[in-house]
Structure 1
Amino acid sequence: MKKYISIIFVFGFLMIFQNCSSQTQPDAKSVETLINSDDFSFRAERATPTNYDVINVMNSLPNTTSTRILDLSGGNYSIDLRKDKLDVTLPYFGRVFNPSYGNSNQNSYRFTSKDFVVTKSQGRKGKSIVKIKVKDQSTVDEITIEIFKNGKAFTSIRSNDRQPISYDGYITKNEEQKEKP
């Protein structure tokens, strides 16, 4: 009986390691190809607000942990960069200096831009930095995406009317858009 238990234990242990190794990350070459194509999506997994008033309010809620990082894995929050269009759908947690009452879409980052400039540069340790200067939105000044070799990314948004916020996530290839009839 002890022999069977030890065999089952070893088999279970090997299955756990197999599942851990099956989580693949893109290689550096495919990440570089995505960046150079100007056709990729940033998928946000976590948000980090900089306003401590928001963090203190969140920490005072019952049954919450004391953290300043918000998990966004349940939503479809992203920045979709294409050659001719920029779609941004990201939540905002922080202080807005000029709020728009009655229109909740303007209280987060939800917009489509066709007038923007993309500049790319190389950072330290192989990191790529993509800066997007949005010209046709009055609230967003600049979006900075720092992309690491393994596909993970750090995004910060600088606005004219609100405090800065940053997001952690990863980049992927854009999905093909289907034409609506």
Structure 2
Amino acid sequence: MKKLIYLSFFGLLSFLYSCSSQINIDPKTLEEITTSNQFTFMAERANPTNYDVINVMNSMPNGNSSRMLDLDYGYTVVLKEKELDVTLPYFGRMFNPSYDTSKNSYRFTSKDFTLSKILNKKGNLVYTISPKDVDHVRVIYIEVYKNGNAYVSIDSNDRQPISYNGYLMKNKISKK
């Protein structure tokens, strides 16, 4: 009986340890990229706010919405000194859809945007980015947590809001 109690205790302890927050980036690197305002947000999961989308995904045979919203590698928001490059999928209701399917997701490059950064009460950095040369995006919020994880929310003029969970990393240096 004692072995069963010890075994269950260690099982519970290892489960709680594996569920703890994991650091995705070195704290020194995180501080460096947030002070320079040059980083890449790598999206891992999309969170649509429209329950119609979630209900449609749940109604598909042999699938559920939680698995479908896990994103593949490569969906990013790249913030550079004078450029914002966004490549993210969109799940939700669009009020002005386009026949050009490349315009139905968030795929744009902005060279004219305003950037503000504040530290909230929890100690997380919150970036507010307002692109001026992109007509369908009003504002992008990026909340950066202390462990390198990040939360991005996009508010648009012609579609319902959507958010993404992911992590930050250094910008890749392009060779010319």
Q: What is the TM-score when the length of structure 2 is the normalising length? A: 0.83
Aligned residue identity for 2:52:
D
Is the counterpart of residue 30 in structure 1 residue 29 in structure 2? yes
Q: How much does 1:27 deviate?
A: 3.7
Larger Rg: 1
Runs of 4+ in 1 over 4 A off after TM superposition: none
Q: Are the aligned partners of 2:24 and 2:167 in contact in 1 as well (CA < 8 Å)? A: no
Q: Are the aligned partners of 1:46 and 1:69 in contact in 2 as well (CA < 8 Å)? A: no
Q: How much does 1:154 deviate?
A: 0.4
Query: What is the rounded CA distance, in whole Å, between the counterparts of 1:111 and 1:176 in structure 2?
Result: 20
Q: How much does 1:38 deviate?
A: 1.4
Q: What is the RMSD computed on CA atoms of the aligned residues?
A: 1.9
Q: Are the aligned partners of 1:154 and 1:168 in contact in 2 as well (CA < 8 Å)? A: yes
Q: Which moved more, 1:149-158 or 1:25-34?
A: 25-34
Aligned residue identity for 1:153:
A
Q: How much does 1:36 deviate?
A: 1.1
List runs of 5+ in structure 1 lacking aligned partners.
Answer: 1-19
**Percent of paired sites with the same residue:** 56
Q: 1:164 aligns with which of 157, 161, 164?
A: 161
Query: What is the rounded CA distance, in whole Å, between the counterparts of 2:64 and 2:142 in structure 1?
Result: 28
Aligned residue identity for 1:62:
P
SS in 2 for 1:35: helix
Count of residue correspondences:
157
Superposed counterparts of 1:47-62, under 5 Å: 47-62=46-61
Match of 2:39 in 1: 40
- Superposed CA deviations along residues 65-96 of structure 1, whole A, max 9, x for unmatched, are 25497100x24100000001110000000000
Superposed counterparts of 1:56-135, under 5 Å: 56-65=55-64, 67=66, 70-72=69-71, 74-101=72-99, 103-135=100-132
Q: Are the aligned partners of 1:79 and 1:86 in contact in 2 as well (CA < 8 Å)? A: yes
